[in-house]
């Protein structure tokens, strides 16, 4: 009977690799546009341009109330411009988005027009006469020329860096892992202090490893762990980096190091701790370590009791402790039945529902047939 029971237990997992090391880090920008006449502007085009990496986002327009919103932006720093009848009327720079509520960026075109006019007048009045330029010493002129050349070189370098990064992202999206690796490698050679490029290089090596076997696969995983380590050294407070690094370490059979990284991710990102511990439990399960898997899944459901899949996998991990009583009946370890019941309450039609019901039947528990999700709102009563 024990063999029959284990037939219901699934050990297949899909790990959550957070692409670009920005898992769930989606933000939004919204605001209002008031015209020079004091009325709200309908149909104004909003252009959002990323400052920390190349990227622009169009498509947002103000509605009839002059309001706009753009969802789905990666966390970053942006310049937001408002365009009316093809002309850029105003812009706001260095807007840093965050998780949670949208970042508010409002425009008052009357004020911005007045400020622009004042700046032009002040600029004309403050323009230095040619005699001042001629008063510069030779050394001062050389210093100015040197600074101008350095600025031009920095601008050129940043453009090349952004172009290389964009090419790598395009290749990674197309699963052209060799091309992505080549582009990201060029990027880190241009600027080894860009954590996001190291993280994407690691993602590309991880993807490449999935297409390889044997020593070639292990070599790709080793390259991935090296790149993740560099990303973390530059940005140690990014939980997604620790998660992805932990998964790569586990694939290299470095389970203790993997556990440390996934635990670190959970510490840095408590709201999503359940998912990190779930990943850890999956690693242990797939390596045949039921005891540590049990503890990891237990932590996952402690972090989020409504995490249905974690409840089911916790029950399957506990199945290693099943025993046969003196009466010949199956004896479940404490918590196993409760976890299966909780799973069915949360996900009555979930992917593991049949397996959970089968396990309960084998354990002699009474299986309900009308499980429903307690979080689902009941329909309003008719009068």
177 to 163, 167, 209, 379: CA distances (angstroms):
17, 12, 9, 49
Whole-model pTM over 0.75: no
Higher pLDDT, 190 or 365: 190
CA atoms lying within 13 Å on the CB side of residue 78: 25
Domain boundaries, the chain: 2-15+161-362, 25-117
Contact 297, 317 (CB under 8 A): yes
CATH architecture, domain defined by 2-15+161-362: Alpha Horseshoe (1.25)
Q: What is the mean pLDDT of residues 142-160?
A: 65
More reliable by pLDDT, 131 or 5: 5
Q: What is the reported pLDDT for 11?
A: 43
Give the model confidence (pLDDT) of 7-60 as tens digits: 444 444 545 555 444 333 467 889 999 998 889 999 999 998 887 666 677 767
Q: What is the pLDDT of residue 177?
A: 94
Range among 217-226, 253-262, 356-365, 373-382 rated most confident: 217-226
Which pLDDT belongs to residue 33?
Answer: 93
> Which residues make Cβ contacts (< 8 Å) with residue 347, sequence separation at least 6?
308, 309, 353, 373
> Average pLDDT over the chain, rounded to whole?
79
Looking at residue 248, its pLDDT comes to 85
Name 108's bridge partners.
Answer: 34
More confident residue, 162 or 154: 162
Q: What percent of the chain has pLDDT over 90?
A: 26
Q: Which residue do the tokens 């002040």 mark?
A: 122
Whose CA is closest to 245, among 232, 13, 275?
232
CA distance 383 to 380: 9
For residue 4, what pLDDT is reported? 46
- Read off the tokens for 242: 């620790």
**Higher per-residue confidence, 283 vs 150:** 283
Among 117-131, 148-162, 250-264, 316-330, the minimum mean pLDDT is found in 117-131
Q: Is the pLDDT of residue 290 over 90?
A: no
pLDDT value, residue 16: 52
- Indicate the CATH number for domain 25-117: 2.60.40.10
Average pLDDT over residues 156-169: 80
């Amino acid at each position: 009977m024990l063999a029959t029971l284990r037939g219901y237990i699934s050990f297949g997992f899909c790990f959550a690799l957070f692409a670009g090391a920005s898992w769930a880090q989606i933000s939004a920008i919204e605001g209002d546009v008031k015209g020079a006449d004091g009325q709200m502007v309908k149909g104004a085009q909003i252009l959002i341009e990323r400052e920390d990496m190349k990227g622009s986002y169009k498509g947002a327009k103000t509605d009839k109330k002059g309001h706009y919103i753009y969802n789905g932006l990666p966390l970053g720093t942006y310049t937001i411009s408002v365009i009316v009848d093809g002309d850029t009327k105003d812009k706001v720079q260095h807007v840093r988005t965050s998780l949670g509520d949208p970042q508010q960026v409002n425009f008052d075109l009357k004020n911005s027009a007045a400020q622009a006019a004042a700046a032009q007048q002040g600029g004309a009045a403050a323009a230095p006469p040619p005699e001042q330029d001629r008063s510069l010493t030779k050394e001062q002129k050389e210093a100015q020329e040197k600074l101008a050349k350095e600025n031009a070189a920095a601008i050129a370098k940043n453009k090349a860096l952004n172009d290389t990064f964009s090419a790598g992202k395009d290749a990674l999206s197309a699963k052209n892992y060799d091309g992505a690796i080549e582009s990201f490698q060029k990027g880190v050679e241009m600027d080894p202090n860009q954590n996001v490029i190291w993280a994407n290089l690691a993602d590309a090596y991880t993807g490449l490893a999935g297409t390889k076997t044997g020593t070639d696969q292990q070599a790709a995983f080793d390259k991935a762990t090296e790149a993740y380590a560099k990303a973390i050294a530059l940005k140690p407070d990014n939980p997604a980096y620790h998660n992805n690094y932990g998964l790569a370490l586990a694939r290299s059979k470095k389970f203790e190091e993997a556990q440390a990284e996934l635990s670190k991710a959970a510490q840095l990102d408590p709201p999503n701790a359940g998912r990190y511990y779930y990943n850890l439990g999956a690693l242990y399960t797939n390596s045949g370590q039921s005891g540590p898997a049990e503890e990891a899944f237990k932590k996952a459901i402690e972090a989020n009791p409504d995490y249905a899949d974690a409840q089911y996998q916790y029950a399957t991990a506990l199945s290693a402790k099943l025993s046969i009583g003196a009466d010949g009946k199956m004896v479940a370890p404490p918590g196993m039945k409760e976890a299966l019941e909780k799973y069915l309450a949360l996900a009555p039609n979930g992917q593991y529902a049949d397996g959970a019901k089968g396990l309960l039947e084998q354990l002699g528990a009474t299986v309900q047939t009308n499980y429903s999700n307690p979080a689902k709102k009941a329909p309003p009563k008719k009068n």
